């Protein structure tokens, strides 16, 4: 084997890539190990899961080796050994060595964190070395009896491309008396994945897919044929009947009969498996002789177990202790977290009520001492509740990477289907957001990326002519700004043609033909309902979803959409979102006889103004805020409430989202409070400017102002004038 | 310009292979496939002078890809190099029997990869 690269671990982009990939591998392994733990406890392992774990550790070993992290490489090599033994039936699924897997993954995670901070040494930490020794000791099982690999007794030509593992699964299947079928179907070469996925799923329902072998189709330029080798307990008739895929052809693989068969006889190098002529080819015999890896009979490691079927069976565990999971991570249903969050929210409200009582009591001289103690206890409760709240919120946070990865798969698929090259750059995948928000963002982001790919990026010829690289770039970036997270989707495509946008908006009656619009306002037109047309739906951008739906989804999350574009240089769509939806701190304001809550994240400042300070210009009301005019909106007018008596001093809540600011005129400021936002179902939902409702302890239910909606109107009106 | 197709599911490994091959000393074009399926789609879309593939991949494995390439008249003549992490000796031999032209074990020295790639690229030029 080649000499190991001797060099100190690189501190480069490559090493960041390394950390990102290893993190991902470890995350997948953690999840798979949790499943493996369950399966061991139940006494039956699913081969696919074990194989996936093996592949993860194998990849881990490979990349660590390339980067010269010998310690990580050696420990993942040990993992790989254990998992290889397990998948090849050489290790009892109850073996104590398996109990060390979770720990190894945890140790590797710590080590990779060190790599990320440039604090790792090539040979690895002391914990890592120590664990390696422990695994070696645990793995020291007596060598199992090695049975000479026997002939498979089936048509070998189909099986020439099986890996050692796949061949092991094949032998296992034959040994357990299952029948082998070849399920074949032809597909269009450029779009085979969906059809193949359907075929695989249908086959998997009937047995175990051992191998997926591609071969040229009848017209090799445009077609591809896949042969799935499936092991199943069903007889041929049942198998064929239940494999409900129209295009598929099923043929059984005759087993255990002799045949003589030259290797590549049919035109495409594959044999048609005629019953009655099977044998090992000389080549196969040679391979088997060379096969230096021990391959044990499973009976040797699973004594007494004859019921071998779809899963690797264990005898009922008499030593349950050793099966105890040592996993340090737990996977939780998001709905349970929602319930927990609701509960915390209700506690927060109760705390508010207690606070109010304490405050009232403080005014009663007769109970002053008790009141002070209550106030103190309340303060302590307050602090602990804040910690609890922060803790629950933290659990809900997930990195944007999860969505970004889905998007990069989408781009890869688009690339294949459209035959157009585009690079996807991803930045800030570590930025965290509430899981709920991340999920809600998946569709809008998908749409933005598809839009960029389909419409924004020019064909390569056009790009080169414009002096740009032939391959376009789509860039996804997430970063935190204050209490918000900004997610940007940019492209280096043709940019938005303001004239075309304007012309279309006029044609659709969204704007008057003679309206004076700034560039920014013109861009905002694409966010209006009815702007996108169904005429130009492409297969990929399809579904007739326009930018208005993107905006609607983002607004529903309390966010804001902002478009910037430079003709010939590209377009950036940025989404500004709150970090969480679950609990907001709100400023409670009074308007007439009603109360409203304004999310504190959007509040910049509050002030009191005399009516004379309010300027009027062209039907708009403005306030001079330290030299800068901001647009005022009267909440009475917005929500159809009675206006206060003229001449009274009024409170202004200055709100901002992104870089747009506005002042909301209210009657009273009633203080700050935690609020649990509950979406409103039913007719109220359609009220413009209301985001939802919240309960405020002793003050009952109040409506939450949708700052984003009010500000957007303000922005548009500000520039429209 | 000669065209190399790299089939590898690990992004890190892919970029290491690419950066090694970018210093080949002769201009080459490099395309990437992150899975066996992607490779199957990439093949008919372009002309390739060398295929570099991993064995352990999630959808179809490298051996299945080798069998497809070498069993297909249109692609048979493209030199094929397997790069795989130290593992099953049997799989390595199987790959060569299926028609792979060379085999490298990871971790490899970039220079050895370049030398092998140069030899294979020269071979197809002569043909």
pLDDT at residue A713 in the model: 62
Interface membership of B45 toward A (CB under 8 Å): yes
Instruction: Sort out which chain B residues have CB atoms less than 8 A from A160's CB and list them.
Output: 67, 94, 97-98
Q: Which of A713, A544, A177 is nearest to A705 (CA)?
A: A713
Instruction: Sort out which chain B residues have CB atoms less than 8 A from A162's CB and list them.
Output: 63, 94
Q: Which of A312, A321, A227, A228 is nearest to A269 (CA)?
A: A227
Tokens at residue A88, please? 């090849």
Query: Least CA distance to B68: which residue of chain A?
Result: A215
Interface membership of B15 toward A (CB under 8 Å): yes
pLDDT at residue A478 in the model: 92
Q: Nearest CA to CA, how far is A680 from chain B (Å)?
A: 44
Quickly count: other Cβ atoms within 10 Å of residue A150's Cβ: 12
What are the C-alpha distances in Å from A129 to residues A29, A72, A125, A172?
A: 20, 9, 7, 36
Task: Convert the pLDDT of each residue in A78-89 to its tens digit.
Answer: 999 889 889 988
Residue A112 three-state SS: helix
Query: Least CA distance to A20: which residue of chain B?
Result: B12
Instruction: Sort out which chain B residues have CB atoms less than 8 A from A18's CB and list them.
Output: 12
**Highest averaged pLDDT of the listed ranges A104-118, A262-276, A356-370, A660-674:** A104-118
Instruction: Sort out which chain A residues have CB atoms less than 8 A from B70's CB and list them.
Output: 269
Average pLDDT, chain A: 76
Q: Nearest CA to CA, how far is B36 from chain A (Å)?
A: 10
Q: Judged by CB atoms within 8 Å, which residues 451-490 of A form the interface with B?
A: none
Q: Judged by CB atoms within 8 Å, which residues 61-100 of A form the interface with B?
A: 61-63, 65-67
Instruction: Sort out which chain B residues have CB atoms less than 8 A from A192's CB and list them.
Output: 37, 40-41
pTM given for the model: 0.47
Instruction: Sort out which chain A residues have CB atoms less than 8 A from B98's CB and list them.
Output: 160-161
Euclidean distance between CA atoms A317 and A40, whole angstroms: 9
Query: Least CA distance to B66: which residue of chain A?
Result: A161
Under 8 Å between Cβ of A345 and A582: yes
Q: What angle do CA A599, A603, A607 make, to 5 degrees?
A: 130
Residue A299 in this model has a pLDDT that exceeds 80? no
CA A56, A59, A64, A65 dihedral sign is positive
Instruction: Sort out which chain A residues have CB atoms less than 8 A from B38's CB and list them.
Output: 412, 416
For chain B, the C-alpha Rg in angstroms (whole number) is 13
ipTM of the assembly?
A: 0.87
**Highest averaged pLDDT of the listed ranges A285-289, A584-588, B53-57:** B53-57
> Which residues, given as ranges, of chain B have pLDDT below 50?
none
- A520 contact partners, CB below 8 Å, separation of at least 6: A719
A-to-B residue pairs, Cβ atoms closer than 8 angstroms = 143
Test mutation, A116, A158, A161, A226, chain B, max B CBs within 10 A: A161
Tokens at residue A561, please? 């959409």
The kind and range of the H/E element at A657 are strand A650-657
Helix A401-418, helix A435-451: angle, nearest 10: 20
Task: Convert the pLDDT of each residue in A532-569 to its tens digit.
Answer: 654 444 433 333 357 888 888 887 777 888 888 888 88
Share of chain A above pLDDT 90, in %: 9
Instruction: Give A92 or A209, the one with higher predicted confidence.
Output: A209
Interface membership of B12 toward A (CB under 8 Å): yes
Instruction: Give A269 or A30, the one with higher predicted confidence.
Output: A30
Q: Nearest CA to CA, how far is A430 from chain B (Å)?
A: 18
The kind and range of the H/E element at A655 are strand A650-657
Query: Least CA distance to A417: which residue of chain B?
Result: B41
Q: Which of A465, A466, A450, A464 is nearest to A418 (CA)?
A: A450
Subunit contact B107:A269, Cβ cutoff 8 A: no
- Measured in whole angstroms, the distance separating CA A221 from the mean position of its chain's CA atoms is 36
Instruction: Give A584 or A297, the one with higher predicted confidence.
Output: A584
Subunit contact A162:B63, Cβ cutoff 8 A: yes
Q: How does A167-182 read in b/e, with b if 16+ C-beta sit within 10 Å?
A: bbbbbbbbebebbbbb
Test mutation, A159, A269, A422, chain B, max B CBs within 10 A: A269
Which of A21, A62, A189 is facing B44, going by the closest CB pair? Answer: A189
Which of A62, A163, A412 is facing B85, going by the closest CB pair? Answer: A62
Residue A55 in this model has a pLDDT that exceeds 80? yes
Q: How does A334-373 read in b/e, with b if 16+ C-beta sit within 10 Å?
A: eeebeebbeebbebbbebbebbeebeebeeeeeeeeebee
pLDDT at residue A581 in the model: 65
Instruction: Sort out which chain A residues have CB atoms less than 8 A from B73's CB and list them.
Output: 216, 220
Residue A406 in this model has a pLDDT that exceeds 90? no
A442-451, A520-529, A575-584: lowest mean pLDDT where? Answer: A575-584
Task: Convert the pLDDT of each residue in A181-235 to its tens digit.
Answer: 999 898 887 778 888 888 898 899 899 999 898 888 777 777 888 989 999 999 8
Tokens at residue B23, please? 């210093």
Which of B70, B87, B93 is facing A287, going by the closest CB pair? Answer: B93
């Amino acid at each position: 084997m080649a000499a190991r690269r001797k060099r100190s671990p690189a501190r480069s982009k490559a090493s960041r890539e390394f950390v990102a990939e290893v993190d991902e591998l470890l995350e997948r392994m953690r999840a798979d190990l949790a499943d493996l733990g369950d399966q061991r406890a139940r006494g039956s392992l699913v081969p696919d899961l074990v194989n996936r774990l093996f592949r993860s550790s194998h990849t881990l070993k490979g990349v660590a080796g390339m980067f010269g992290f010998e310690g990580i490489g050696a420990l993942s090599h040990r993992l790989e050994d254990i998992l290889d033994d397990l998948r090849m039936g050489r290790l009892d699924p109850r073996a104590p060595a398996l109990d060390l897997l979770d720990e190894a993954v945890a140790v590797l995670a710590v080590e990779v964190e060190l790599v990320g901070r440039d604090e790792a040494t090539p040979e690895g930490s002391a914990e890592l070395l120590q664990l390696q020794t422990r695994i070696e000791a645990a793995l020291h099982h007596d060598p199992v009896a090695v049975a000479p690999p026997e002939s498979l007794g089936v048509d070998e030509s189909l099986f020439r491309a099986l890996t050692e593992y796949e061949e092991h699964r094949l032998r296992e299947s034959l040994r357990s008396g299952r029948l082998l079928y070849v399920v074949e179907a032809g597909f269009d070469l450029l779009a085979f994945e969906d059809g193949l996925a359907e075929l695989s799923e249908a086959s998997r329902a009937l047995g175990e897919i051992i191998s997926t072998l591609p071969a040229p189709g009848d017209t090799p330029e445009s077609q591809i044929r896949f042969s799935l080798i499936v092991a199943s307990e069903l007889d041929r008739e049942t198998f064929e009947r239940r494999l409900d895929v129209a295009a598929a052809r099923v043929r059984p693989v005759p087993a255990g009969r002799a045949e003589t068969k030259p290797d590549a006889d049919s035109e495409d190098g594959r044999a048609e498996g005629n019953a009655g002529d099977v044998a090992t080819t000389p080549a196969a015999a040679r391979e088997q002789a060379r096969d230096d890896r021990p391959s044990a009979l499973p009976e040797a490691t699973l004594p007494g177990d004859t019921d071998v079927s779809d899963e690797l069976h264990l005898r009922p565990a008499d030593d349950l202790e050793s099966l105890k999971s040592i996993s340090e991570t737990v996977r939780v249903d998001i709905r349970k977290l929602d319930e927990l969050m609701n509960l915390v929210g209700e506690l927060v409200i109760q705390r508010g009520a207690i606070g109010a009582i304490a405050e009232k009591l403080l005014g009663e001289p007769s109970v002053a001492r008790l009141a002070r103690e209550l106030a103190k206890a309340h303060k302590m409760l307050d602090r602990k509740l804040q910690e609890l709240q922060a803790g629950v919120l933290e659990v809900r946070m997930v990195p944007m990477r999860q969505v970004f990865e889905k998007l990069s798969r989408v781009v890869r698929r688009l690339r294949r289907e459209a035959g157009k090259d585009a690079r996807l750059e991803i930045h800030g995948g570590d930025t965290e957001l509430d899981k709920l928000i991340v999920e809600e963002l998946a569709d809008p982001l998908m749409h933005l990326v598809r839009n960029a790919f389909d419409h924004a990026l020019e064909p390569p010829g056009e790009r080169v002519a414009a002096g740009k690289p032939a391959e376009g770039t789509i860039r996804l970036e997430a970063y935190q700004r204050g209490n918000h997270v900004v997610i940007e989707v940019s492209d280096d495509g043709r940019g938005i043609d303001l004239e075309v946008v304007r012309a279309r908006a006029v044609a659709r009656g969204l704007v008057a033909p003679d309206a004076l619009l700034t560039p920014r306002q013109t861009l905002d037109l694409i966010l209006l309902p009815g702007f996108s047309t169904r005429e130009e739906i492409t297969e990929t951008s399809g579904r007739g979803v326009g930018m208005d739906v993107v905006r609607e989804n983002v607004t529903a999350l309390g966010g804001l959409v902002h478009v910037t574009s430079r003709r010939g240089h590209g377009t950036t769509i940025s989404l500004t979102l709150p970090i969480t939806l679950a609990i907001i701190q709100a400023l409670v304001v009074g308007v007439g006889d009603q109360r409203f809550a304004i999310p504190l994240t959007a509040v910049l400042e509050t002030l009191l103004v005399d009516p004379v300070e309010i300027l009027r210009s062209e039907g708009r009301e403005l306030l001079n805020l330290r030299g800068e005019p901001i647009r005022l909106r009267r909440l009475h007018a917005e929500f159809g409430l009675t206006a206060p008596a003229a001449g009274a001093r009024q409170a202004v809540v200055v709100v901002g989202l992104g870089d747009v600011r506005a002042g909301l005129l209210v009657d009273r400021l009633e203080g700050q409070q935690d609020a649990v936002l509950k979406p409103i179902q039913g007719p109220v939902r359609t009220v413009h400017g209301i985001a939802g409702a919240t309960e405020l302890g002793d003050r009952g239910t109040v409506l939450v102002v949708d700052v984003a909606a009010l500000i957007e109107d303000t922005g548009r009106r500000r520039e429209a004038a | 310009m000669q065209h190399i197709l790299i089939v590898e599911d690990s992004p890190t490994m892919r970029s290491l292979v690419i950066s090694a091959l970018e210093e080949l000393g002769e201009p080459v074009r490099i395309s990437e496939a992150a899975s066996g399926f992607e490779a199957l789609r990439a093949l008919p879309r372009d002309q390739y002078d060398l295929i570099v593939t991993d064995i352990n991949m999630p959808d179809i494995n490298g051996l299945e890809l080798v069998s497809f390439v070498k069993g297909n008249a249109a692609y048979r003549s493209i030199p094929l190099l397997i790069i795989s992490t130290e593992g099953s000796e049997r799989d390595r031999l199987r790959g060569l029997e299926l028609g792979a032209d060379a085999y490298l074990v990871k971790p490899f020295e970039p220079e050895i990869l370049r030398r092998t790639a140069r030899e294979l690229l020269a071979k197809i030029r002569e043909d």
